[in-house]
Amino acid sequence: MFDDLKRFETGSSEQYDWLNQLLDGFFPDRNTMDIRAVPRGSFPMINIARSDEAVRVYVFAAGLAPLDLIIDVQDNVLTLRGQRDAVSGQHEEGESRQVLRRERASGEFVRSIALPEGIDVERSEARHVHGVFEIVLPKREELKPRRIDVQAA
């Protein structure tokens, strides 16, 4: 369980980087980062949860229609790719307009994330609701928890 959390750790926000680096100097093993970790706030944001039956991945991709996200699983790595167009600052007559603030990510994106072992990729499915994709990755039958009944003698 805790190994899993470490694997998914995304690292701390930028303002603590200097402190982290300082602390890492004293305690080298303190916070080893996952190779696929990305800075906070990368688009799209991802939450992963698990139940006894499945691992559920929630992709917060506002502005993407159901067919705009390409979801691949290979060798236990989930890859999400797609594209989101920037809101245009163009006026009807082609005059460009001042962009006062541009915080939303745009353009192509690819994100990969390592999944826990034991996923049955064949039975995986995905849904889309209001800019959130839910990917359900069922666990393989033999890995589900099982209760063993004690038989009467």
Partner 1 sequence: MNDIVRSSHSHHSSLQQEQNGQNRHYKEALLPAVDIIEEANALKLVADMPGVTPETLKVEVDDQVLSLEGEIALNMPEGLSALHAEVRGQRFARRFNLSREVDSEAITATIVNGVLTLTLPKKESHRARRIEVQAA
The Cβ-side half-sphere exposure at 26, using a 13 Å CA radius, reads 4
Are residues 137 and 125 in contact, defined by beta-carbon separation less than 8 angstroms? no
Checking DSSP bridges between strand 125-129 and strand 107-114, what pairing results, if any?
Answer: unpaired
Taken as a whole, the chain contains a residue count of: 153
Size of the site for partner 1 (CB under 8 A): 46
Applying CB under 8 A, does 8 fall inside the site for partner 1? Answer: yes
Instruction: For the CB of residue 99, give the shortest distance to partner 1 in the complex, in Å.
Output: 5
Query: Out of 129, 148, 150, 153, which residue is the one contacting partner 1 (CB under 8 A)?
Result: 129
Residues 51-110 that bind partner 1 (CB under 8 A): 51-52, 55-56, 58, 60-65, 86-87, 89, 91, 97-105
Torsion of CA 113, 117, 122, 128, to 10 degrees: -40
Residues that bind partner 1 (CB under 8 A): 4-5, 8-10, 40-42, 44-52, 55-56, 58, 60-65, 86-87, 89, 91, 97-105, 113, 116, 129-132, 134
